[in-house]
Chains A and B, each alone.
Chain A
Amino acid sequence: MTSRKALNVIQDGGADPLGAEPMNPSRRAFLRTAAAGAAVSALAGCGVDVGEFLRSHFKELSRDELAKVLAKVERRNKERFGKDTKVTAEGPRPGVEFGYGLDISRCVGCRRCVYACVKENNQSREQPQIHWIRVLEMEKDHGVDLAHSELYYDADTVPRPGKFYFPVQCQQCRNPPCVKACPTQATWKEQDGIVVIDYDWCIGCRCCMSACPYGARHMNWAEPKLPAAELNPVQHYLGNRPRPKGVVEKCTFCIQRTRNGRYPACVEVCPVGARKFGNLLDPESEIRRVMETKRVFVFKEELATHPQFYYFYAT
């Protein structure tokens, strides 16, 4: 393969293929030294956790520091929900690059995936209601055309005559505009292709939201409303751990499941089997079979985002 810049999957710890500038995640190096005195006490005074404010970027954390960070998240979960949770930070597996296929000749627009995702990934249930998957109803006469699409369709039964359904979620781009837009490097692409967010690092500026051409990123405009009884206790630090107010979140291919070999929740729930998932580097995988035998396209190809999320027609 030729090494076209835009197609490189970002290597952890390596040079940043997205920009010419070398990566410098320790943006608070200055603070760490200069703020030792008065600034620190001032921070403590306004309720900010000093240790958290001054800690290193996720990728720079040592094993011990990471363990401390995870323990702290579990502690906070306990305070907030009164429940024990297991928060991990399972890394990408070597030789794995995730690919997702969505069969739009099968999807019937039932929205089961939308709510399975909410349940799995601990989104705020209402005010704000956050859905990582948005199912658009489109007209067969117009094809895939956002100008003729409806997100808020109400129907007694689906599919409706003359319509087809086009679910949209994070496309896990190989050339992610959101990563380039983030001023604090709170979001980045991992080696298996998942674009992740460190909610502790996100300052809520929403630059990524305006950069994303798929509307895949969602802001917690208010304190998320997540009933303790509905909390999913199996959590990933970069995925479905409960979010605070004022941070951005999005689909992570169910990182807490897929890094352990499981299918994402939306894949398992889809009653028509429209959703396919697997390792693009494994020639035997379901997703490779889709790529090799079906008509496949990516959404908004003209933007050169190079998604790892593919739409296809099985018939």
Chain B
Amino acid sequence: MRQKSTPWIVVLLAALVAARALASQPAAKPAAPPEKKKEILYEARPPPFSDGIFPCMECHKDQKDPTRRELGFHDEQQAVFDHDAEHRWCLDCHDLQNRDVLRLASGATVPFTESYRLCGQCHGDKYRDWRAGVHGRRVGMWDGAKTYLLCVSCHNPHSPSFKGVKEITVDGKLTVAPTLEKIKPEPRPARPEEMRGWKRPAEAGR
């Protein structure tokens, strides 16, 4: 992994967020746009892989057929695939030679931890907003170090319209993964009359 912390960043960061412990080095390239004046440490949450799916090359070592076709495997992806399905298929984003990385339109490859560069090729407006912190969730300091989520933490890349998210743990770190189900809301607030000792019927939940 890239070492991001050059000494001057550490100094700046220490001044900015004196007491904040740097738990770990960034797993991916920081998303800070180059034009940003203040250098702030950003840390990506890890990509939300399904259990045991990565590294892909364990199964894909000898599969080198580049023709677009219905696959005899990966039913779980094919069943839900809804990402411009008419025009797109696996190898538009996944690299044929090395399945452990993704492939840009230019032919260059990017690791899964930087998948936002792939998404940003088509979704430039969202990419700009996300880099500026306007699209998507961030956690941390409003004036300092913060953690961001990858596009794929909330959008299933194979069925990207937002439906819902659930919390998961990857490498001991809490993050979120997209779900195909919508979110269940928290209980509604109590009505004033219910707060005066009136008991809500048990079957209504809360």
Residue of A nearest to B133 (CB): A286
In the assembled complex, the Cα of A293 lies from the Cα of B133 at a distance in Å of: 13
The verdict on A128 contacting chain B, using a C-beta distance below 8 Å, is yes
Q: Report whether B189 and A263 are in contact in the complex, using a CB–CB cutoff of 8 Å.
A: no
List chain B residues, Cβ under 8 A from A217. none
Give the residue of B135, B137, B183, B189 whose beta carbon is less than 8 angstroms from that of A314: B135
- With A279-B143, A284-B37: A271-B183 Cβ-Cβ less than 8 Å: yes
- With A272-B154, A284-B37, A284-B38: A262-B141 Cβ-Cβ less than 8 Å: yes
Q: Report whether A263 and B140 are in contact in the complex, using a CB–CB cutoff of 8 Å.
A: yes
Residue of B nearest to A103 (CB): B134
- State how many angstroms separate the Cβ of B3 from the closest Cβ of chain A: 25
Interface stretch (choices A66-74, A75-83, A152-160): A152-160
In the assembled complex, the Cα of A164 lies from the Cα of B149 at a distance in Å of: 24
In the assembled complex, the Cα of A172 lies from the Cα of B133 at a distance in Å of: 22
Interface 1/0 per residue, A265-282 and B, CB below 8 Å: 001101111001111001
The verdict on A295 contacting chain B, using a C-beta distance below 8 Å, is no
The verdict on B132 contacting chain A, using a C-beta distance below 8 Å, is yes
- With A156-B184, A268-B139: A151-B134 Cβ-Cβ less than 8 Å: no
Q: Report whether B134 and A293 are in contact in the complex, using a CB–CB cutoff of 8 Å.
A: yes
The verdict on B69 contacting chain A, using a C-beta distance below 8 Å, is no
Give the residue of A110, A154, A284, A289 whose beta carbon is less than 8 angstroms from that of B134: A289
> Could you count the A-B residue pairs with CB atoms below 8 Å apart for me: how many are there?
112
Interface 1/0 per residue, A254-266 and B, CB below 8 Å: 0000100111000
Residue of A nearest to B148 (CB): A273
Q: Report whether A263 and B134 are in contact in the complex, using a CB–CB cutoff of 8 Å.
A: no
Query: DSSP class of A's interface residues: helix, strand, loop or mixed?
Result: loop
Q: Report whether B134 and A270 are in contact in the complex, using a CB–CB cutoff of 8 Å.
A: no
Give the residue of A114, A127, A273, A284 whose beta carbon is less than 8 angstroms from that of B136: A273
User: Which residues 168-183 of B sit at the A interface, judged by CB distance below 8 A?
Assistant: 176, 181-183
Q: Report whether B133 and A157 are in contact in the complex, using a CB–CB cutoff of 8 Å.
A: no
The verdict on B61 contacting chain A, using a C-beta distance below 8 Å, is no
Q: Report whether A261 and B188 are in contact in the complex, using a CB–CB cutoff of 8 Å.
A: no
List chain B residues, Cβ under 8 A from A284. 36-38
Q: Report whether B190 and A129 are in contact in the complex, using a CB–CB cutoff of 8 Å.
A: yes
Q: Report whether B186 and A111 are in contact in the complex, using a CB–CB cutoff of 8 Å.
A: yes
In the assembled complex, the Cα of A276 lies from the Cα of B134 at a distance in Å of: 7
Residue of B nearest to A116 (CB): B186
Q: Report whether B141 and A261 are in contact in the complex, using a CB–CB cutoff of 8 Å.
A: yes
Interface residues on B, range: 35 or more
In the assembled complex, the Cα of A40 lies from the Cα of B144 at a distance in Å of: 50
- State how many angstroms separate the Cβ of B187 from the closest Cβ of chain A: 8
List chain A residues, Cβ under 8 A from B136. 273
Interface 1/0 per residue, B137-161 and A, CB below 8 Å: 1111111101000000010000000
List chain A residues, Cβ under 8 A from B92. none
- State how many angstroms separate the Cβ of A257 from the closest Cβ of chain B: 9
Q: Report whether B137 and A126 are in contact in the complex, using a CB–CB cutoff of 8 Å.
A: no
List chain A residues, Cβ under 8 A from B189. 114, 129, 131, 134, 151-152
The verdict on A210 contacting chain B, using a C-beta distance below 8 Å, is no
Q: Report whether A115 and B143 are in contact in the complex, using a CB–CB cutoff of 8 Å.
A: no
The verdict on B197 contacting chain A, using a C-beta distance below 8 Å, is yes
Give the residue of B38, B142, B176, B195 whose beta carbon is less than 8 angstroms from that of A126: B195
In the assembled complex, the Cα of A262 lies from the Cα of B141 at a distance in Å of: 4
Residue of B nearest to A113 (CB): B186
Residues of A within 8 A of B (CB): 108-112, 114-115, 126-129, 131, 134, 151-159, 221, 258, 261-263, 267-268, 270-273, 276-279, 282, 284-286, 289-290, 293-294, 314
8 residue pairs, one from A and one from B, having the closest CB atoms:
A273-B137, A111-B186, A157-B182, A286-B133, A273-B136, A261-B141, A129-B190, A110-B183
Can you identify 21 A-B contacts, CB atoms within 8 angstroms? A115-B186, A126-B195, A127-B196, A128-B195, A153-B188, A261-B16, A261-B141, A261-B143, A263-B139, A263-B140, A263-B141, A267-B138, A268-B138, A271-B183, A273-B135, A276-B134, A278-B143, A282-B143, A284-B37, A286-B132, A289-B133
